[in-house]
Amino acid sequence: MYKNILPNTLKLKSQQKGGTIGSWITISHPAVAEIMAAAGFDWLVIDMEHSAIGISAAEHLIRVIQLSGLPALVRIGENDVTLIKRVMDAGASGIIVPMVNTAEQAVKAVASVKYPPKGIRGVGLARAQGYGTHFKEYQNWANTESVVIVQIEHIEAVNNIEKIINIDGVDGFIVGPYDLSASL
């Protein structure tokens, strides 16, 4: 899997173009991912927070998106070490983490994606690592090129935004206007 994303990472695209455009997938049918991947986007997000998409369906969608030449990000349902590890092992190019309200929560998200010594991610041999055949290359990729985006969705996050976005390994943020409005 790592060979599909190494030469064409989201970070590289952002640097070269000065910006990227992507879209979200909330329907788990592989044809939806295939159609979206052919629509000209730079990346796609599989939404596991506000959809019925589970880990197995997410893995299939990741595969379709990456075979189409695009990075596949996954918005997980919560800042959970095990869930993040499973999504990354399934081959995600990165994650979007909802409700990051503190710098400590941002650190946890980044650490969950990265392998030691940069993070705390456990070693498993799955699709992302070529089922073990390319672990070293994937480990290097995960620690340098994987994407971590946090969502600012609460007034507490707004009050901590500078600390959150300055955490090493946080690549970007998305404001969640509805949850933010609810917290206000």
Is residue 113 a contact partner of residue 84, using CB atoms and an 8 Å limit? Answer: yes
CA distance 28 to 14: 27
> 125: which 2 tokens?
């041999």
Residues 89-101: tens digit of each pLDDT = 999 999 999 999 9
> 94: which 2 tokens?
């990165």
What single-letter amino acid sits at 144?
Answer: T
Q: Percentage of the chain with pLDDT > 70?
A: 90
The one catalytic residue in 29, 50, 60, 134 is 50
CATH number of 2-183: 3.20.20.60
Tracing tokens 């455009």 back to the chain, one arrives at 21
Q: Is 60 a catalytic residue?
A: no
* Sequence-separated (6 or more) residues with CB below 8 Å from residue 172: 147, 149, 150
What does each C-alpha distance from 101 to 65, 133, 162, 182 come to in angstroms?
A: 30, 38, 11, 14
Q: What are phi and psi of 47, to 5 degrees?
A: -95, 105
Looking at residue 7, its pLDDT comes to: 44
Angle at 84 between CA 81 and CA 90, to 5 degrees: 140
Is residue 2 a contact partner of residue 141, using CB atoms and an 8 Å limit? Answer: yes
> 105: which 2 tokens?
């929560």
Residues 3-51: tens digit of each pLDDT = 545 444 566 666 666 778 999 999 999 999 999 999 999 999 999 999 9
> 24: which 2 tokens?
């979200």
CA atoms within 13 A of residue 14's CA, in its CB half-sphere: 10
Angle at 13 between CA 158 and CA 177, to 5 degrees: 25
Looking at residue 6, its pLDDT comes to: 45
Please state the domain extents for the chain.
2-183
Give the global pTM: 0.93
> 102: which 2 tokens?
């503190």
Taken in order 96, 99, 101, 105, the sign of the CA dihedral is negative
